[in-house]
Structure 1
Amino acid sequence: MASSIEHADVLPFSWDTVAAAVLDRDGTVLHWSGAAAELLDRSAAEVCGKPVGHLLADTSHGRLRDVADRAHVPKAGRARLRHRSGDDIEVAFQILPLETGSGFVVLAASARWVGDAAQGAALLRALLAQDRIGISIHDADLRLVRTNITPERFGGPGTPLDLRHGAGLSAADAGAVDSALHRVLATGVPLVGHEPRPSPSQRAPGRQSSSSLSAVRLEDARGRPAGVAALITDTGGQHRSHQHVELLHRASARIGRSLDVRRTAQDLVDVLVPALGDVAWVNLAEAVFHGDEPPKLVGAGDPHLRRAALASAVEPWPDALLQPGAPIPPYRDTPGLRSLQHGGAVILDPERAIDLVNNQEPDERYLPEHGHSALWAPLFARGLVLGTVTLWRTEEPAPFEQGDADLLTEITSRAALSVDNARRYTREHRASLALQHHLLPRRATDTAAAETTGIYLPAADGAEVSGDWFDAIPLPSLRTALVVGDVVGHGLRASATMGRLRTAIHTLSDLEMDPDELLTHLDDLVTHFTAETDPTYKDPIAATCLYALYDPVTRRCTLATAGHPPPVLVLPDGTARLIELTPGPPLGVGGMPFETTTLELPPGSVLALYTDGLIEGADHDPVAGLRRLIDRLATHCRGDRPLDALGRVVLAETADPSPRDDIALLLARTRALAPDATAAWEFAADPAVVAQARSAATHQLAAWGLDEAAFVTELIVSELVTNAIRYAGGPVGLRLIRDETLICEITDSSNTQPRLRRARTSDEGGRGLFLVAQLARRWGCRYGQSGKTIWAEERLAAEPMTV
C-alpha cells in the first residue's frame, strides 16, 4: 500500500460521512457500517468475511497479512478504494487498534471532504483570531454557536455579543440585522456590505466607528442549511478616506469660483463646516482686502489680520466670538510659531490655541464653547502668508487626527492660491476702475446751454472694466458738446484707449468742428492707434461714439453717430421718443462718411445718451431694452426732477441687476438764451463802418446795463472789425451774446487762419489780435461752410439771461 496510502497526522471527522469497518488481526472485514456501504456502494454481505485488500485499487504490494502486520500498519493516511462502478475513490483513513489486540477499527472518509474540513478549520481559526474581522457562527435555529465579537469592537471590553440580537448596534439596525440573517438562512442569498451603526452606549468617546456586515449560509455535506456565518469588518479607515476624497473634490469645485476675496474665504469655511469640523473662521491680512501684498511678518508681532469669513454648524454664529471685520491681536513668540506660519496644518488644544494670541480680552473671544480640538493652518501662496484658517470641533467628540491635518493642508494650499488670485484681481480691477474714474469727467455740469449728469456703472463682479465714457464739453459762444462712447474690449487697454479718445475729442471740439467732421478725424485717429499697436495685441482697436452739439442761442442740436445707439429725447410735456439718426460705421473702420441730424429743442428738453450695456439686459434683447428705457424716461422724467435722481431710477429699473458690461448714461436738460440776450449787425467792407460798429456795441451795452464793459468791448470790436475789412472783405457780421460772460463775434467770408504774433517796434501793424488776447478772457476762431467767426469772451458779474 506504499503508493496508495499517504501518511497524515490527523483526520478531521465529519460524522455523517465517516465510514467505519472492523478488521481482525489478519485484515478480514468483520463489520461494515452503513456509511461505508454508501461510500463504495458495497453492502456488508459483500464485504464481511473477506480480506480488506480486495477493496484496494492498488494491490501490487502484497496481501492483507502485510497490512495486518502491526509493525507496518499505518495509523492514518490516504488510500484509493474500488467503487462498485469500477471508479477509484480516494479516502483519508485512520486505524485504531482494539484494546484486546484482536483487531482494528478503520475510519475513512472522502479525501475531498476531509480536505475541506481541514481548510475550513484553519480558516475558522484564522478568522477567530482576527481583531479587525468579527465572525459570528449560528446554527440552523440561528442560535449563536461561536463568535469573537465583543464590545471592544464597539468601544469597550466585555463578554461576547450575539450579533443576531443586535447587541452593540443601534436600535434602528438591531431588527434589520436579525431579519437579514433569517433571509440568508432561508434563501441562501449572501448579505454583502451592510453597514450597521453602533449604539451610542457602545461607541467609544473620540472614535469614529464604521463597519461592514456580510453573511453566508452554511450547508452540510448534503447541501442542507446548517446555519449562518456572519462577518463584520472595520471600515472606518476606508470610510474616512472616501470622505476625505469627496471633501477634496468639493473644495476643488467650490473654492475659487469667485474673484472676490471675502467670497473665496467664505467658500473655504463653508466647505470645511460641517464636513470636517463644527466651527471655522478665516483671518486675512488687511492688505489682501485691498489687493495689496501682506507684510512679510515672520515670528511674533502684529500680522494686521481681520476676520474675513466664518461658519458654524450650530447657528447662529456665537456672539462671544470675534465677528466679521474684527482685528486679530498680535501673536506671542511661542515655540514653533514660525514653523506654524510657513508649514502645514497643525493640531492644537485649547490651551495652546489661546497661548498664540497676546491679548487682554477673555479667552471666549478666540475659543468657541465646548471647543476641545482645533486645526490651524496658514494660507501660504507665492511666498506670502495671506492669512490663517482655524477649525474647531465642538459637537463631534473625536479629536482631530494627523490625517485630518494633512487633508486641511491640501485644501488650504489650493485655497490660498484662489485667495491670492482674488487679491491680484482686486488690485488689477481697482487700478482699472481708478484709471477709468480718473479719465471720466465730473458727474454733473451746469452751463448756459444745459444741465448735465453722467453716471458710470461698472460691470458686476468677475468682469473687467471696459472703455465706456461720457462727456459734457463747454464750447465757445455758450454751446455744449454732449459725448458718449464705448471702446470694444475690456481691461486696462480699453480704459487707456478710452482716455486717448476722450482727450482727442476735447482737442477736436476746441476747433469747433461740426459733429460729422469731428467723427471723421476721430476715425482716422483710431485707425492710427491700431497701426501703432504692438503686434502681440491681435485685436484691432475699435469704438462707437455719439457726438451732439447744442447751441442755446438757436436752440439747435446737431448730432452724428459712429456705430452708437441713438439717444432718447424727452420733451417738456413728458413725451419720449428715439431720435432717428443716419447710422455711421464704428470708429476704426475708415473710408465711410458720417452724416448729421439737426433738430430744434424747446427749453427743458432732456436728452439721454447711453452705452449698449444699459439696453442689453439679462434677456440680451437690445430692442426690448430700448423700449424699457423709453418707457422709464417717459414715466419718471417730469418737471424739474433732478437729473441725478432720474438717472438712478432709470438704471435701477432698466439695467440688469448684475450687468455683464459697463454702463454709461448721460442726461442733459437743455436751456435757451433769452431773445433779448443777443444782438447782431451786418456791415459793408468799408473802413468807415468801424465807428458804426463801435457805436452799435456801446448802445447795446448801455441797454443791458453793462456800461463798465464798454471801453474794453469798443477796443475789441474796433480791432476785429478792422482786421475783417482789411483782410477778408465784406460783408462783416457783428454779434454780441450776453450771459455770465459777454461774447463778441465777428464773422467774415475768409477762411484765412488768424495768427497771433508779437509786433516789432518798427512795425505799423500786427498788434490787433495781441491786443484782443490781452483784453479778453479768451478768444478763438471757428469755421463754417463759408467764412469764419472770430470770437472774444469777457468776464461779467451780471446775472445770466437764460431760460
Structure 2
Amino acid sequence: MSAHQPVAPPGAKRVCQPVDVVAVVNADLTVIAWTEAGRRLWGYQGAEVLNHPARRLLAAPADSDCLCQLASGRPWSGTVEIRCRDGRTALTDFRAVPLNLAHSEEKLFVWSAGSAVPPAPTRPDPSVLTALMERSPIGMVVWDRDLRCTWFNDSGERESPFRFGPEVGRHVAELLATDNPMFLQAVMRSVLERGVPVLDHELWRPATREKEARVYSVSIFRLDDADGEAVGICTMAVNVTKSRARGRLNMLSNAGTRIGTTLDVMKTAQELADASVPGIADYVTVDLADVVPLGEEPLERLNSTDTSIPVFRRAGAASIHPDFPESLAEIGTPVFVPPSSPFTTVLHSRKPYFEPRLDTSPGTWLDDDPTRARVIRQTRMHTLMIVPLHARGTMLGIAVFVRTENPSPFTRGDLLLAEGLADRASLSLDNARRYSRERAAALTLQRELLPDQLWGGSAVEVASRYLPADTHGGVGGDWFDVIPLTGARVALVVGDVVGHGLNAAATMGRLRTVVRTLADGALSPPEVLAGLDRLVVDMTKDHPDDTGFTSPVMGATCVYAVYDPCTRHCTIASAGHPPPAIVSPGGDVAFADVPAGAPIGLGLGAYESLDTELAEGSLIALYTDGLIERRGSDIDQGLERLRGALASPAPDLDSLCSAVIETVVARTPSDDDIALLLARTLVISGDPA
C-alpha cells in the first residue's frame, strides 16, 4: 500500500467477509498470492509458498488434469487430491478460473476450494487480503457510507475515471470527470442500500490537458462486515478504451453491410432500427420529415394543436419487446410531438440530443406531452439519445434511441456509435429519396406518354399490361401501341429503349411519336423500322457522347406488326426484339420466325419481314425482354414459361394478361420493365371501304 494511504486503526470493523479464494497463480503455475484460506487448507505460511511452483501443493501433479487445463489457459473445476504440509492428503472440490485483464498481457488464475479439511474458526488475516488487493492489476477504490474515499490501490491511482486520481477523504462527486456524475452517485447509493452489485458499467472520461479520453468498465459492489452490515462500497475499474473502440468499429462495419441494401426509403429506415437493437438500445425509431415523402397528405395539412404537431412520419422501428409497448405511432403514420421538444430541437439544429438520465420530473418538456410521459414511465425508459439524419445539406429526419431493460445509461461512446450508424443510414436514405423522386417522375412521364386506351377497331381485340421495374435501375423505356391504319388494318408495336430513368422515359415518348408518324405514311413494317433507325441516328448526332458515337440511351429494340382483317395476313418486322408468340384458336403456341434485324439507333437500317396468314381468333402476343429474361437463366426457359402461360385457357384477353403476368413474373420476378400486348384477330368479309 502506498505511504499516503491510511491503514485501518485497531478495532475497526473488517470490510470483507471470509471467501474460499486460496491462491492466485500466474501462467507458469507459480503462486503469486496466498490467503488465510490457503494456509488453513494446506498448513503452509505465505513465505513457504509464494513464488514457488503450485504443483507441490497437489498429491499427483504429474498427471493432474487441473494443471494440464491451466497450462492451456482454460478454466477447470473438479475434485483434486491435495498434499498438506504435514504429509496428509485430502480430497478437495477445486476451481481454477482465468482472470482476464483488458489492459494486461499477463495471464492469472484464481484458485478457490471447498476443502474436506475442517476450517479453523479464525477470520482471514486482513494484511494478506490487503496485500492481494494492493497487487491487483485492476484499479480498486473503497468508499465509506457517505461515498468518501477511504482506500485505493496503486492501479486505482494509475487507471481511474477520476479527474486527478482518487484522494482519501474526497467525495465521489469531487473526483469524477465523467459525463454524468449524478447518475453514478445514484447507482452507488443504490448498491449501498440494496446490496445488488452493478457489473461492467461503462464510464467515459473526457480528454483534458493532462489526460487522454478513456473508456472504463466499472463494477460496483457493497462491502459488509462480519455481521452483514454495510460499511461501504468498492469500485473496480478496467481501462477498456481499445477493446470498446474495436467493438464499436466492428459494429459499424457490420452495420455497413446491413443498412442501405435497397433503394427503398422504408426498408433503409427499418434496417437502421434493426441494426441498433439490442446492440445500442432496447428501442429505436426512425422518423422522417416531409422532405422524404411517405404519404399522399403533407404533414402540414394534418390537424395540430398548441401542444401537439405532426412533424415526422414513422419509417422504421425495432424493439426488444415483440409487442412494441414503447410505440406511439405505427409504421407509415404521422408522429406528433410538442412544438418545443428535443425532437424539434434536433430537427432545427441538426445536432444530437443526449440525456443519459431521462428526467421525467415536473417542469420538463414532458409536461406538454402527457401521453409520451405515461409510456416512458410504464416502460421504464431511463436514458435517451436523438440523432439527426442529414446528408448533402438536407435534413431528412431523426433516429431516437432508448433503453428500458438495459440498466446502463447511454455514454458518449454510445452517442458516437449512434451518430456513425445514422451517418451511414442518412446517405442511403438520401440516395433512396432521390431515386424514389426520379422514379416517381419517370413513372408519371411514362404513364402520360403511354396510351390510356387501346382500340383495335374491327381488326383485333386488344389488352395490355405494363410493370415498371422495382430495382436500382428504375423505370425503363418500354412502350406499346395500337395504331389504326387505312383499310381497317391495324399496327401493333412494342418497343424497349436502352437505359432507365427520366431519359429513357422521355426517349420512349419521342420514339412512339416517330413510329405513329411513320405509320401514317402507309409504309411497310421494314420501312417503318428503317425510318425509325435513321431518325434516331439523326437525333443522336445532336447529343453525341465524348467519343462522337451514338449515345446508348438512344438505342432501342422494336417489333412492328401489321394485321389486315380482310386478308387475315400479318406482316411482322423486328429490330433486335424478342419474337412474337402466335397462339392458334386451338391453343397451340409458336414463336414467329421473324428475320433478325439490328437494334434501332445503329444506323444499319436494313430490315426484312415475315408474312403469315392467321386464322380468325388467333392470338398475337408482343412483349419486352423483361418478361422472359432472368439473371442466371437461359432465355429459352423464359420462352417456355411464356408458352405455357399463353396456352392456358382464359375467359377474355384481360384475364389472360393477368394470368401471364402472375404465372411468369410472380414465380421468377424480373429486374427490368415488362410490357405485354395481346391482340386477338378478327375477320372482315367484303370490302372494308
TM-score after normalising by structure 1: 0.55
2 CA distance for matches of 1:281 and 1:405? 15
Give the direction of change, closer, same or farther, for the CA distance of 1:300–1:311 in structure 2 (3 Å limit): same
Q: Calculate percent identity across the aligned residue pairs.
A: 38
Equivalent residue for 2:459?
449
Equivalent residue for 2:318?
311
Q: Pick from 257, 260, 263 the counterpart of residue 264 of structure 2.
A: 260
One-letter amino acid of the counterpart of residue 247, structure 1: M
1 CA distance for matches of 2:318 and 2:413? 22
- Pairing of 1:672-687 with structure 2 (within 5 A): 672-673=683-684, 675=685, 678-679=686-687
State the SS of the aligned residue for 1:436: helix
Q: Pick from 174, 177, 180 the counterpart of residue 96 of structure 2.
A: 180
Q: Are 1:372 and 2:372 an aligned pair?
A: no
TM-score after normalising by structure 2: 0.64
Equivalent residue for 1:669?
680
Q: Are 1:327 and 2:337 an aligned pair?
A: no
State the SS of the aligned residue for 1:288: coil
2 CA distance for matches of 1:534 and 1:127? 84
Q: Deviations over 1:695-748 (max 9, x none)?
A: xxxxxxxxxxxxxxxxxxxxxxxxxxxxxxxxxxxxxxxxxx3xxxxx4xxxxx
Q: Are 1:204 and 2:201 an aligned pair?
A: no
Give the direction of change, closer, same or farther, for the CA distance of 1:339–1:376 in structure 2 (3 Å limit): closer
Equivalent residue for 1:645?
655
1:658 is displaced (CA, Å) by 3.4
One-letter amino acid of the counterpart of residue 629, structure 1: L
RMSD between superposed Cα atoms in Å: 4.2
State the SS of the aligned residue for 2:96: helix
Q: Are 1:144 and 2:7 an aligned pair?
A: no
- Pairing of 1:752-763 with structure 2 (within 5 A): none
Q: Are 1:351 and 2:360 an aligned pair?
A: yes
Equivalent residue for 1:488?
498
1 CA distance for matches of 2:616 and 2:560? 20
Asked whether the 8 Å contact 1:279–1:368 carries over to 2, the reply is no
Give the direction of change, closer, same or farther, for the CA distance of 1:620–1:142 in structure 2 (3 Å limit): same
Q: Pick from 633, 641, 653 the counterpart of residue 628 of structure 1.
A: 641
1:478 is displaced (CA, Å) by 2.0
- Pairing of 1:742-753 with structure 2 (within 5 A): 743=689
Asked whether the 8 Å contact 1:613–1:659 carries over to 2, the reply is yes
2 CA distance for matches of 1:309 and 1:460? 20
Asked whether the 8 Å contact 2:475–2:673 carries over to 1, the reply is yes
One-letter amino acid of the counterpart of residue 565, structure 1: P
Equivalent residue for 1:509?
519
Asked whether the 8 Å contact 2:77–2:94 carries over to 1, the reply is yes
2 CA distance for matches of 1:182 and 1:248? 30
Equivalent residue for 2:441?
431
Asked whether the 8 Å contact 1:206–1:399 carries over to 2, the reply is no
Equivalent residue for 2:400?
390
Q: Are 1:552 and 2:565 an aligned pair?
A: yes
Equivalent residue for 2:617?
604
State the SS of the aligned residue for 2:384: strand
2 CA distance for matches of 1:626 and 1:644? 21
Q: Pick from 512, 537, 540 the counterpart of residue 527 of structure 1.
A: 537
1:394 is displaced (CA, Å) by 0.8
1:599 is displaced (CA, Å) by 1.5
**Higher RCO structure, 1 or 2 (CA under 8 Å, sep 6+):** 2
Give the direction of change, closer, same or farther, for the CA distance of 1:615–1:458 in structure 2 (3 Å limit): same
Equivalent residue for 2:671?
660
2 CA distance for matches of 1:309 and 1:564? 43
Equivalent residue for 1:724?
none
One-letter amino acid of the counterpart of residue 333, structure 1: S
Q: Deviations over 1:52-85 (max 9, x none)?
A: xxxxxxxxxxxxxxxxxxxxxxxxxxxxxxxxxx
1:358 is displaced (CA, Å) by 5.0
1:446 is displaced (CA, Å) by 4.9
Give the direction of change, closer, same or farther, for the CA distance of 1:361–1:432 in structure 2 (3 Å limit): same
Q: Deviations over 1:221-272 (max 9, x none)?
A: xxxxxxxxxxx97244444333322222223332222211111111111111
2 CA distance for matches of 1:402 and 1:432? 44
2 CA distance for matches of 1:448 and 1:556? 14
Asked whether the 8 Å contact 1:345–1:408 carries over to 2, the reply is no
Give the direction of change, closer, same or farther, for the CA distance of 1:663–1:308 in structure 2 (3 Å limit): same
State the SS of the aligned residue for 1:528: helix
1 CA distance for matches of 2:655 and 2:275? 42
Give the direction of change, closer, same or farther, for the CA distance of 1:607–1:354 in structure 2 (3 Å limit): farther
Equivalent residue for 2:415?
405
1:476 is displaced (CA, Å) by 2.7
State the SS of the aligned residue for 1:328: strand
Asked whether the 8 Å contact 2:462–2:680 carries over to 1, the reply is yes
Asked whether the 8 Å contact 1:378–1:412 carries over to 2, the reply is yes
State the SS of the aligned residue for 1:180: strand
Equivalent residue for 1:278?
282
Structure 1: which 5+ runs fail to align? 1-123, 148-171, 213-231, 680-736, 738-742, 744-803
Equivalent residue for 2:58?
none
| Larger-gyration structure (1/2) | 1
Q: Are 1:586 and 2:599 an aligned pair?
A: yes
Give the direction of change, closer, same or farther, for the CA distance of 1:182–1:627 in structure 2 (3 Å limit): closer
Give the direction of change, closer, same or farther, for the CA distance of 1:340–1:457 in structure 2 (3 Å limit): closer
Give the direction of change, closer, same or farther, for the CA distance of 1:626–1:192 in structure 2 (3 Å limit): farther
1 CA distance for matches of 2:94 and 2:217? 19
2 CA distance for matches of 1:354 and 1:322? 22
Give the direction of change, closer, same or farther, for the CA distance of 1:263–1:142 in structure 2 (3 Å limit): same
1:577 is displaced (CA, Å) by 0.8
One-letter amino acid of the counterpart of residue 253, structure 1: T
Q: Are 1:288 and 2:292 an aligned pair?
A: yes
1 CA distance for matches of 2:200 and 2:97? 31
Q: Deviations over 1:609-642 (max 9, x none)?
A: 11111111243311221122112211x145xx22
- Pairing of 1:116-155 with structure 2 (within 5 A): 143-144=34-35
Give the direction of change, closer, same or farther, for the CA distance of 1:303–1:278 in structure 2 (3 Å limit): same
Q: Deviations over 1:480-535 (max 9, x none)?
A: 11001111222222222111110001111111211111111111111112211143
1:593 is displaced (CA, Å) by 2.1
1 CA distance for matches of 2:679 and 2:99? 85
Asked whether the 8 Å contact 2:199–2:218 carries over to 1, the reply is no
1:425 is displaced (CA, Å) by 1.1
One-letter amino acid of the counterpart of residue 495, structure 1: A
One-letter amino acid of the counterpart of residue 663, structure 1: I
State the SS of the aligned residue for 1:470: strand
1:142 is displaced (CA, Å) by 6.9
State the SS of the aligned residue for 1:489: strand
State the SS of the aligned residue for 2:287: strand
2 CA distance for matches of 1:368 and 1:652? 48
2 CA distance for matches of 1:280 and 1:437? 39
Give the direction of change, closer, same or farther, for the CA distance of 1:637–1:507 in structure 2 (3 Å limit): farther
1:407 is displaced (CA, Å) by 2.5
One-letter amino acid of the counterpart of residue 619, structure 1: G
Equivalent residue for 1:247?
251
Q: Deviations over 1:10-40 (max 9, x none)?
A: xxxxxxxxxxxxxxxxxxxxxxxxxxxxxxx
1:205 is displaced (CA, Å) by 7.5
Give the direction of change, closer, same or farther, for the CA distance of 1:233–1:179 in structure 2 (3 Å limit): farther
1:439 is displaced (CA, Å) by 1.4
